[in-house]
Amino acid sequence: MDEHMREQIALFRFGLIAPLLNEQVDPKSYLTEMANRIHEMPYYGEKRIAAKTIQDWYLRYRKMGFEGLKPKKRSDRGHSRKLIFQLPIFRQISGGDRHRTQGMYGAWGENSARI
């Protein structure tokens, strides 16, 4: 997600909390009303947003300003994810031999379809 999209999402979030910031509405009824709607969010598409989430955005805005409304950047950005067989703990448990676990979970894993 690029910086422009992060700003668009923050603007959308600000639009939802603006009536609360300006004290134009009763907070409880406004949060209930917003939670019952389906919102068209930038990047994410149509979503329902919980009242608690809107409250969190409100508090983050009060604490950190507009930057607090932007989605956080991924901490693992630019790093590839490791498969379970590459993790050191797996190698330690299985002795590094992937085939030893097949007796317990089958060739494709615990949740694979049984034929």
Q: What is the pLDDT of residue 79?
A: 67
Percent of the chain with pLDDT over 70: 65
Q: What is the pLDDT of residue 72?
A: 87
pLDDT beneath 70: ranges in the chain: 76-115
Q: What is the pLDDT of residue 39?
A: 94
Question: Which pTM value belongs to this model?
Answer: 0.65
DSSP H or E stretch at residue 41:
strand 38-41
Q: At what angle do helices 3-21 and 27-35 cross, to 10 degrees?
A: 140
Q: What is the pLDDT of residue 73?
A: 82
Q: What is the pLDDT of residue 74?
A: 72
